Structure 1
Amino acid sequence: MSLNELFTLTARQLCLCILPFAQGMKITDLNRDGGIGSNSLLVELGGYTFVVDAGLHPKLTGNAAVPNFDFIGDREIDFVIVTHCHLDHIGSLPVLLKQHPKARVFMSLPSQMLVERMLHNSCNVMKRQKEEKRIPEYPLFTHDDIDGISGRFEPLKYKDPLRLELHGEMLTITLYQAGHVAGAGGFQIEHGSKTYFFTGDVLFDDQRVLNGARFPKAKKFDAMVIETTRGETERPEGKTRESEVKRLLKQVGQTIREGGSVLIPVFALGRMQELLSLLNDARKDGRLPRCPVYGAGLGLDIADYFDQITKRTQLINYTRRVTKELRLKRPPRKLTPGKEPGEPGVFVLSSGMLVERTPSYMVASTLLASTKNAICFVGYCDPDTPGGKLLETRPGQTYLFDVLDYQCPVLAKVDRFELSGHADRDEILNFALAAEPKSIVLTHGDPGAREWFAQQLEAADHPVRVIDPEPLETIEIL
């Protein structure tokens, strides 16, 4: 190669020229605040540059909720991997793809079937928030923007390797079912002599409508990127998912028999369909008395998508039969804080964290002040959300529904049931240690959760480099 030819090489081609000496992987957390929020990772591996997820922070608004895509600069993104369709993982996908029009987008087939619906709903929410909260930059993208990127979504089959070649450099992506929600995937990257594994959000337990994670067993990885959501949550001895389902149904049944109502706050994708299926089965076999079941919003719409996914893939078990047999009712449109909403029943409503102005938040304001009612949380609640704050409020103390300008004593039974869509910390720890990686990167967790994982990993028999990256800090894994 002549000097003139060498000087005309692009930065990417230069990287390939020195590839044998630069086999490491670089990772940058694009989430401005770290923790759990606008989840997005920039990954540089040899001549490849790709992004894992592009979320919106659920507690922030406007541009502050978007990952710092400016950090990418003029680097060309080859592809994006979507691990699943919760908005903290896909909510800024149209923003990223608008900036990188040549990037391919890989996800599972169920995710491909769900992602547009989730994004269109997010666009509607932002339009409403633009008026309610006076956020000038909303919506961050339009319905036309979503339609414009839909043709770039490429579905991957679980356990079916996708081999890419760029300028003669090979990279293989293999997606594995991750439980958590329909379409969720962890993935394996093979590049040169190295193998890396990203768990994404994972649940190993089987659910009523979805099998648990089917990750590769007895597999060794050079490095792993793991979620740490439940690092601060210790499951009590003897408490299992099955026992928690029984405890939940017992609480629901007792409350209904005594003439009260039950609110179960849920995430629209995954938790709602799981709970509707559980309630339907329990009513049919007599574990629950007959009573009205109320549902509304995006979660019911997604139930129809679950029916289509069941028919096309057999990866989940949910059909329209569930909603028909339950004869779901919609809660009253006009609700008055402190005044119960008509006929007692079970309210299965989003959001799962009682976010302001959502159906679950509004219904909670009508039920909380009565001892005959119950509010049953079944998933993760950020401590700073209304749901997290309610769980920290003792019985009899005053709770404030801020946006409603209403406060009342906590008289209803408020409890949390361990039906999270995230795996127990010990399960993730055991999976990671069994793979004997040289390095483990901690993601998707609050500081205390990451600290627990760091301590456990550093104390393990197998020596491992534990990396807890700061936001926008590029770390290299050799």
Structure 2
Amino acid sequence: MSSVDTQLEELQQTIADEVPPDISVTEVKYEGPELVVYTRDPKKFAENGDLIRRLASQLRKRITVRPDPDVLSPPREAREEIMDVVPEDAGVTDLDFHEDTGEVVIEASKPGMVIGRHGSTLREITQRAGWTPEVVRTPPIESSTVRNVRNFLKTERDDRRDILEKVGRQIHREEMSDDEYVRITTLGCCREVGRASFILSTPETRVLIDCGDKPGSEDEVPYLQVSEALGAGANTIDAVVLTHAHLDHSAFIPLLFKYGYDGPIYCTEPTRDLMGLLTLDYLDVAAKEGRTPPYDSEMVREAIKHCITLDYGDVTDIAPDVKLTFHNAGHILGSAVTHFHIGDGLYNVAFSGDIHYEDTRLFNGAVNDFPRVETLVLESTYGGRNDYQTDQEDSERKLLEVINETYERGGKVVIPAFAVGRSQELMLVLEEAMRNDKIPTMPIHLDGMIWEATAIHTTYPEYLRDDLRDRIFHEDENPFLAEQFNHIDGGEDERMDVAEGEECIVLSTSGMVTGGPIMSWLEHLGPQEDNQMIFVGYQAQGTMGRRIQSGWDEIPMGGSGGRTQHLQLNMDVATVDGFSGHADRQGLENFVRTMNPRPEKVLCVHGDERSTQDLSSALYHDYNMRTFAPKNLETFRFL
């Protein structure tokens, strides 16, 4: 018998000893980081509201209780009991029963009403029906991504249970080494923006954090081939942790499965959905541009199937000697500062991912309060000495001024925007400005993936800023449903109609003008002097966006027969700072200055050479901490 089987037997006996004698425990197993307890008496478990909490506290594990399949009531009877318990105002749209696990997935417009105060309605559902309820939100805006992900995971439930059981056994395996160290190896995004990737290793465990592409480059992949990463075999990696879904952090996550990785990906739920959306689009763009994609859509599905989603603040075992906690990073939907607690109080490391320290219209600012942190790996995108962004109110005022000026001369505004984050921020600014007559009411056309990404935002309002979340809960106040917004879904014909029509605003991907529908808008609107392009996001070195921002007025476009044609840009070009999802230099310093506790060491990454070195130097001088601006393929040993 393996050590894990012995451990499960002991846990089952401990639980049986702790629960009242009239409650049976028929089986105990690991599924990912959770301990799943099967019982023939689910209703009695539910009646004792504190029992699961006490067991979780005593065993220091996340516990889920499920009914033994033998004692389940028929779905038809259970449906009636559930609908009798759940308030009608909850807006239940679907009930999906899974008899193999005794779970019922309840989809509702207002999940909070299904959950009840401190889970009271969930407990009543189990008391009455005997099934274990799981609650998901009905998207206020129909999202094909959310629907497809949920349907896919439903069809793959058997495979997922096998994956989770395997992961659970790996997490709870016996520790084999008496050695103690913590190492971080940089596989990308050092003294450069993009291709974020790191290995966090101990004698027992190796964790890959992020695996992204480099904007403006087609072939610069993280250094996955080295022995610290996949060089020793893909399955020497115990876990992958994804901080957020932007492609410079997520693009090559599916590639890991092509190389043979078969383990878990830890991320938030919206990050999982957005990763699916963005990586599938990444493949689509590569195919349209005649490039060979590095992996196929099947690998994207494998990545989604292996995702284990965590909420902010949940402390979760991901290896025998590593616990993971996600905290809000304020950057995009579901973005996370990832905190690793290593060993029994041995060492703590936090990876910022990409952060925004101050509150924005979309998100609460990044969390920087932790139980312990010895080392911080900190993004430095705007870490340069003079990288101070305009105040948000000033930025919005300037944006509206440029839009008004363009409108008055009869021109159209085109804004290259990232589908996730900046587009939704701009939608909120523009909707409010039109509602308050600060700019004329005109159509706002959303092209590329922006509408779909917006639908995903409304599916997970609990990840948004508090007041925005409350507005989304009330359909008549949901700003994303304003009538000015038009989803461009008619392709080139609709774009031509817009270009020949009245004054309007166009938000289009890609945000760095590296492909996608923005290229078509340049062709339609670029030659006219009355029109205006406004950059509101970071433009990386080597991208077309950076070149246009730097003054290029003639840009290469794909031509027929393999010939490159050139497009003359006569439209005005403006840059409005302050809308970035990244903290500026002051925000980064404030994040570190107010961090509790303040770290002993900081690695400044994800910025060009000047930005990382400037920030590293400033933090060293101002806060007397050890700082580094590492290069790619460096390894840092702690302890």
TM-score normalised per structure 1 = 0.84
Match of 1:379 in 2: 537
Q: Deviation of residue 341 (structure 1)? A: 4.3
From 363, 374, 385, the equivalent of 1:222 is 374
Which is worse superposed, 202-211 or 184-193?
202-211
Match of 2:629 in 1: 468
Supply the distance in 2 between the matched residues of 1:31 and 1:424 (Cα, whole angstroms): 21
Letter in 2 for 1:68: Y
**Higher relative contact order structure (alpha carbons within 8 Å, sequence separation ≥ 6):** 1
Match of 2:616 in 1: 454
Letter in 1 for 2:585: R
Match of 2:295 in 1: 141
Match of 1:354 in 2: 513
Q: Deviation of residue 247 (structure 1)? A: 1.5
Match of 1:190 in 2: 341
Q: Deviation of residue 208 (structure 1)? A: 2.1
Matched-pair contact (CA < 8 Å) for 1:69–1:96: no
From 31, 36, 43, the equivalent of 2:200 is 43
Letter in 1 for 2:380: T
Supply the distance in 2 between the matched residues of 1:221 and 1:266 (Cα, whole angstroms): 35
Distance 1:476 1:14, change over 3 A: farther
Letter in 2 for 1:384: G
Match of 2:600 in 1: 438
Distance 1:282 1:336, change over 3 A: closer
Q: Which digits, 9 at most, give the CA deviation of each residue in 1:182-218, with x for residues without a partner?
A: 000001111132111111100122222322212316x
Supply the distance in 1 between the matched residues of 2:358 and 2:464 (Cα, whole angstroms): 20
Q: Deviation of residue 378 (structure 1)? A: 0.9
Q: Which digits, 9 at most, give the CA deviation of each residue in 1:286-322, with x for residues without a partner?
A: 1121222211121111111112112798877467762
What is the SS of the residue equivalent to 1:406? strand
Match of 1:412 in 2: 572
Q: Deviation of residue 259 (structure 1)? A: 1.2
Distance 1:314 1:211, change over 3 A: closer
Match of 1:199 in 2: 352
Letter in 2 for 1:412: D
Distance 1:181 1:233, change over 3 A: farther
Q: Give the 4+ runs in structure 1 shifted more than 6 A.
A: 311-316
Q: Which digits, 9 at most, give the CA deviation of each residue in 1:262-299, with x for residues without a partner?
A: 11110011111221222112111211212222111211
Distance 1:128 1:407, change over 3 A: closer
Distance 1:432 1:270, change over 3 A: same
Q: Deviation of residue 410 (structure 1)? A: 4.7
| 1:217-366 matches, cutoff 5 A | 220-232=372-384, 234=386, 239-310=390-461, 317=469, 322-328=480-486, 330=488, 333=492, 341-355=500-514, 357-366=515-524
Match of 2:257 in 1: 97
Q: Are 1:69 and 2:227 matched, yes or no?
A: no
Supply the distance in 2 between the matched residues of 1:164 and 1:465 (Cα, whole angstroms): 29
Q: Which digits, 9 at most, give the CA deviation of each residue in 1:32-77, with x for residues without a partner?
A: 885112211111123110100111222222xx23322211222511
Q: Deviation of residue 98 (structure 1)? A: 3.5
Matched-pair contact (CA < 8 Å) for 1:107–1:155: yes
Supply the distance in 2 between the matched residues of 1:311 and 1:215 (Cα, whole angstroms): 19
Match of 1:59 in 2: 216
Higher share in helix: 2
Q: Deviation of residue 15 (structure 1)? A: 9.2
Q: Deviation of residue 471 (structure 1)? A: 1.7
What is the SS of the residue equivalent to 1:277? helix
What is the SS of the residue equivalent to 1:176? strand
Q: Are 1:174 and 2:319 matched, yes or no?
A: no
Q: Which digits, 9 at most, give the CA deviation of each residue in 1:77-131, with x for residues without a partner?
A: 11011000011111111111343433211001221232222222222222223x3
Letter in 1 for 2:632: P
Q: Deviation of residue 261 (structure 1)? A: 0.9
Distance 1:67 1:377, change over 3 A: same
Distance 1:398 1:307, change over 3 A: closer
Match of 2:582 in 1: 422
Supply the distance in 2 between the matched residues of 1:43 and 1:117 (Cα, whole angstroms): 27
Supply the distance in 1 between the matched residues of 2:376 and 2:189 (Cα, whole angstroms): 22
Letter in 2 for 1:281: E
Q: Deviation of residue 334 (structure 1)? A: 5.8
Letter in 1 for 2:429: L
Supply the distance in 2 between the matched residues of 1:336 and 1:406 (Cα, whole angstroms): 20
Q: Deviation of residue 456 (structure 1)? A: 0.5
Match of 2:57 in 1: none
Distance 1:336 1:17, change over 3 A: closer
What is the SS of the residue equivalent to 1:29? strand
Distance 1:368 1:182, change over 3 A: same
Supply the distance in 2 between the matched residues of 1:34 and 1:392 (Cα, whole angstroms): 21
Distance 1:459 1:312, change over 3 A: closer
Q: Are 1:108 and 2:268 matched, yes or no?
A: yes
Aligned length: 444
Letter in 2 for 1:224: L
Supply the distance in 2 between the matched residues of 1:387 and 1:102 (Cα, whole angstroms): 37
Supply the distance in 2 between the matched residues of 1:401 and 1:351 (Cα, whole angstroms): 16
Letter in 1 for 2:607: G
Matched-pair contact (CA < 8 Å) for 1:40–1:67: yes
Distance 1:335 1:29, change over 3 A: farther
Letter in 1 for 2:502: E
Q: Deviation of residue 376 (structure 1)? A: 1.2
From 293, 316, 341, the equivalent of 1:162 is 316
Supply the distance in 1 between the matched residues of 2:402 and 2:266 (Cα, whole angstroms): 42
Supply the distance in 1 between the matched residues of 2:307 and 2:259 (Cα, whole angstroms): 16
Supply the distance in 1 between the matched residues of 2:462 and 2:202 (Cα, whole angstroms): 38
Distance 1:427 1:367, change over 3 A: same
CA-based RMSD: 2.9
Instruction: List gaps (5 residues or longer) in structure 1.
Output: 1-12
Q: Deviation of residue 16 (structure 1)? A: 4.5
> How many percent of aligned residue pairs carry the same amino acid?
23
Q: Deviation of residue 406 (structure 1)? A: 2.6
Q: Which digits, 9 at most, give the CA deviation of each residue in 1:337-394, with x for residues without a partner?
A: 9x95443211111111122x4222332344344443221111111132111112211x
What is the SS of the residue equivalent to 1:448? helix
Which is worse superposed, 117-126 or 384-393?
117-126
Letter in 2 for 1:349: S
Distance 1:417 1:371, change over 3 A: farther
